[in-house]
Structure 1
Amino acid sequence: MVDIKHQNNAIADFIFQLRKERNLSFADLEELTGVSRGVLHKIEIGETKHPEYKTVKAISPVLLVPYFQVIEGYIENENRVDTLLEILADIISREETCSLAPKVALRLLESPNKGTEESLQRLFNFTQSIKDNSLKVTLFEVIIQYSRWHGTMPYLAKGLFQKYLIIRLDLKQMEESFFDGKEILKYTDFLSHEEKITYYIRMGLQAFALKKHEEWC
């Protein structure tokens, strides 16, 4: 383990550690990463407190720490929703960083740069575009929990509804998804007309399959 130079700037620390352990000049590091030595120098000395994400991505493959650790530290000081969405798209494409998705999603929703509903809508749209159902459920759960905390009923309803549509397809979760589906009944006023129709049809069919007509009707 080498010395830490800037304890509040993880990227600067990582660059410093790399150069010291491998005896690299800024010119050497520029050749390895494609990032100019001037930019690298400013990051290491702390002049650039929070480098662009594209710079961090370029540097990270040669650092002495896992990409997971680099990104986990980076998002602590990132407030730009566009950048957080870019990071979210990047980490879910990598098996080693996919588990960071809920943390990045929550960071996005907590960003002071956008209003709560705008951030929720952007995360909701992003989540809808994902193909992996398991990951979708994970991100919808972030939306659901955040919406509960902030009393944002439309996104609580939509998050619950979208999660229900996914988990009801898993026969092993029929009972659980039916229970979750019943909760949506309290928030149907916040669903669109089409969503309401879909909801009642799916729940009616599920109640029939589970022989829970009395519980549903």
Structure 2
Amino acid sequence: MISEGKTFGGILRAYRNRANLTLTELSERTGVASGTISKIESDTLTLPNMQHIMKLAKVLDISLYTAIVPYLYNIKREATLRLLLEAVMEQKNVVLTQKVALQLLNCPKSNTFLSLDYLYQTAGTEGNEELRLALYDVISDYSREHGIPLYLARSLFQRYMIRRENLSQLDQTYVEGKELLHYTSYLHVNERILAYYKFSFHALRLGFYSDCIHLCKQGLEIDNSQSEQKAAAILAIIISYFELEDYTLGHFYLERYEMFDYPEVHKHARHIRGKLYGKTGKFDKAIPVLQECLAQQTQDDKIVIANDLLEIYIQVGEVEKIRDLFLAEASILPKNLTTPNQYNQLGLYFRTKGIFCIQKNEVDLGVDSLVESVNYYRAINEIKHADKSLSALFEFYLSQKKNLPIDILHKLSNVYNGSNHSIKQEV
């Protein structure tokens, strides 16, 4: 790779000679006049036609970076830079895409706002995620440096919407993405609502329950719809209040949630009311409601209700009902894993099962269940929960004054080396 500012002529001549091509032969293969090629090689042309440069580079197998960078900062024509941007994006060259995009923004003959909008629209139609992020990064960095909050907000929003889908970086994405919250007033109202709701779901996923409530309420203040998205935000508030053990406010928002006329809301509301009964010690009301919900729910969604029932059964000492749930496992565990919550609930289910089985001297099944719990939690990067399941496993062997068996060590090694479930889904 050559350094920026170094001429391309000598490199072109070296590649042509290595290919044993005369000027005439190279001209015939590229359609570029031999005289033009000669001028490029001798550096007589300080700014050759970029289409010629790209044709020569393609025939001689010279990287676009090597061919373009020496001339890039001398290009002042917006049309030429747009043409270059299309070419380097076709080659999936992320570094060069960012360099050309930045040069387009710095082009003295271009309108900055039109260029920003062009890059923003180009990013929005690009199918390659890495290239989209590269363009949004250029837009946000330039807008931040030059005080253009509209395009800073829009690019930060789009970048966040892409990056939040990577479950292995949820913590980092949440922290970095919070810059957007300072610029939400520059977003269209629908994007602003979506930003608040998506951040609130993200906060809920990370266990930041107070943040979740605050962000949801900001969205609710400007959301005049009765959409399913709004209902989901209220559901997130309810879950957060439950986790904070504020069942009074949880109940208040449950009544608001029940006002939405959607099948999914009806289904979830009944379950949440049963859960509320359980959390407030009304087990005689909670158990029949949750049992009814479990029977009516589709298999892919039964696991969360099963976990709520297990929690209550353990509190009231219903050992046989606990066993009955475990025996019905084949009809309870989801067949299609598509959401982080399913993985989280499976991790909880197998931890509960593992601890229960060990307590009942069903050691092999209990140990295998704890390993499976770690597996599911690790799949969504829930390190704290995975460690909790792992601790339960270690505590058992410590209590027995035994070392971990080799086969269990191998299973754990597979989990921690990545031979486990994986998921990439929207939060």
Shorter-chain TM band: 0.7 to 0.9
Q: Which residue of 1 aligns with 2:7?
A: 10
Q: Which residue of 2 aligns with 1:35?
A: 32
Pairing 1:86–2:83 present = yes
By relative contact order (CA 8 Å, sep 6+), the higher-ranking structure is 1
Deviation of 1:69 after TM superposition, in Å, equals 0.7
- CA distance 1:159–1:19, shift in 2 (3 Å): closer
Whole-angstrom CA distance in 2 between matches of 1:22 and 1:180: 49
- Equivalent position SS for 1:50: coil
Deviation of 1:187 after TM superposition, in Å, equals 0.6
How is 1:1-217 mapped onto 2 (pairs within 5 angstroms)? 10-18=7-15, 25-63=22-60, 65-94=62-91, 97-216=93-212, 217=214
Q: Calculate the TM-score normalised by the size of structure 1.
A: 0.83
Deviations 1:129-174 (A, max 9, x none): 1112222122211111111110011011111100110111111122
- CA distance 1:163–1:63, shift in 2 (3 Å): same
Which amino acid in the other structure matches residue 184 of structure 1? Answer: L
Q: Contact 1:17–1:64 (CA<8 Å) still a contact in 2? A: no
Range with greater deviation from structure 2 (164-173 or 197-206): 197-206
- Equivalent position SS for 1:92: helix
Q: Contact 1:167–1:177 (CA<8 Å) still a contact in 2? A: yes
Deviation of 1:25 after TM superposition, in Å, equals 4.5
* Unpaired stretches in structure 2, ≥5 consecutive residues: 215-427
Range with greater deviation from structure 2 (76-85 or 183-192): 76-85
- CA distance 1:202–1:64, shift in 2 (3 Å): closer
Q: Contact 2:98–2:135 (CA<8 Å) still a contact in 1? A: yes
Deviation of 1:62 after TM superposition, in Å, equals 4.2
Q: Which residue of 2 aligns with 1:5?
A: none
Deviations 1:78-137 (A, max 9, x none): 222332222222223325x44322222211211111122222111111111111222212
* Unpaired stretches in structure 1, ≥5 consecutive residues: 1-7
Q: Calculate the TM-score normalised by the size of structure 2.
A: 0.45
Deviations 1:25-77 (A, max 9, x none): 43233223221224334444555321221111121134485433112223132
Whole-angstrom CA distance in 2 between matches of 1:203 and 1:9: 46
Range with greater deviation from structure 2 (62-71 or 147-156): 62-71
Q: Contact 2:140–2:156 (CA<8 Å) still a contact in 1? A: yes
Which amino acid in the other structure matches residue 101 of structure 2? Answer: A
Larger radius of gyration between Structure 1 and Structure 2: 2
Whole-angstrom CA distance in 2 between matches of 1:181 and 1:61: 39
- Equivalent position SS for 1:10: coil
Whole-angstrom CA distance in 2 between matches of 1:173 and 1:21: 46
Q: Contact 1:144–1:155 (CA<8 Å) still a contact in 2? A: yes
- CA distance 1:212–1:58, shift in 2 (3 Å): same
Deviation of 1:22 after TM superposition, in Å, equals 6.7
Whole-angstrom CA distance in 1 between matches of 2:49 and 2:130: 30
Whole-angstrom CA distance in 1 between matches of 2:68 and 2:210: 50
Matched residues, number: 209
Deviations 1:178-208 (A, max 9, x none): 2233221211111011211211221122222
Alpha-carbon RMSD: 2.5
Which amino acid in the other structure matches residue 93 of structure 1? Answer: E
- Equivalent position SS for 2:65: helix
- CA distance 1:212–1:18, shift in 2 (3 Å): closer
Q: Contact 1:18–1:24 (CA<8 Å) still a contact in 2? A: no
Range with greater deviation from structure 2 (129-138 or 12-21): 12-21
